[in-house]
Amino acid sequence: MFLKFWEIEVKLLRMSLDQLKKYENELARANKMRIVASEETGEVKEIDASFYYSKDPSYVKWYTDCLDYVPALQNGLPGLFFALLPYIKYADADDDFGGMYVIIDKCLKMRIATKLNISFSRVEHTIQEMTKSHILKRVCTGRYQVNACILGKGAWLDIKQVKNQFKDASETVSESSIETEAVVND
């Protein structure tokens, strides 16, 4: 993996690999890859990590076998679903509800309505529709859990517990999933 980055750097800086290899340990320790070298002498002046990231930026897992839920997302308001994503908590086995919930209070609804330029009642209505179509699940007042068949946030062992809670919803769409798998296998 490192060699690939080395090769790019060599191409960029027109330096030989031997010249750069003596800095390999230093770079690996610092987890930084870009080298700024003097054009005249080839001496390394600075090590810059402007394009290399050792960690992913924050992300949610979007499961690719969630095809059965896509029509429900399309019929609702997809922008609203995306607007909720930054507020989803991580899956947590120690949590009473298993985590992966979002607290939708009046403040958040108003913020989303302003952001998407829609009415407050439309936001409320769409959340109700999402709950009906098993994209969200109301666990208590103002707290909605996201369907772990579509999305995941955190470790798989924790997400799996949340997914089991949506088992009933999954069973209703399992027939079409089997059909989809059969077509892929063909």
Binding region for another protein (CB under 8 A): 1, 4-5, 8, 51-67, 70-71, 73-74, 78, 81-82, 85-86, 152, 156, 159-160, 180, 183-184
With contact defined as beta carbons under 8 Å apart, do 151 and 61 qualify? Answer: yes
The CB-of-97 to another protein minimum distance in angstroms stands at: 20
**Rounded least distance, CB 59 to another protein, Å:** 4
What is the nearest approach in angstroms of another protein to the Cβ of residue 2? 9
User: Is the CB of 37 or the CB of 72 nearer to another protein?
Assistant: 72
Calpha distance 45→62 (Å, rounded): 42
Nearest to 135 by CA among 150, 116, 124: 150
Nearer to another protein, 40 or 127 (CB): 127
Among all chains, which residue has been given the structure tokens 């798998």? 181
Least distance in angstroms from the C-beta of 141 to another protein: 25
Q: Which is nearer to another protein, 42 or 78 (CB)?
A: 78
Distance between alpha carbon 174 and the CA centroid of its chain, in Å? 25
Give the pair of three-digit tokens for residue 49: 């990590």
Residues 49, 116: Cα–Cα separation, whole Å: 36
Q: Which is nearer to another protein, 26 or 65 (CB)?
A: 65
Residue 72: CB atoms within 10 A of its CB come to 18
Question: Closer to another protein at the Cβ: 61 or 143?
Answer: 61
- Nearest-approach distance from CB 162 to another protein, in angstroms: 13
For residues 180 and 147, what is the distance between their CA atoms, to the nearest angstrom?
Answer: 20
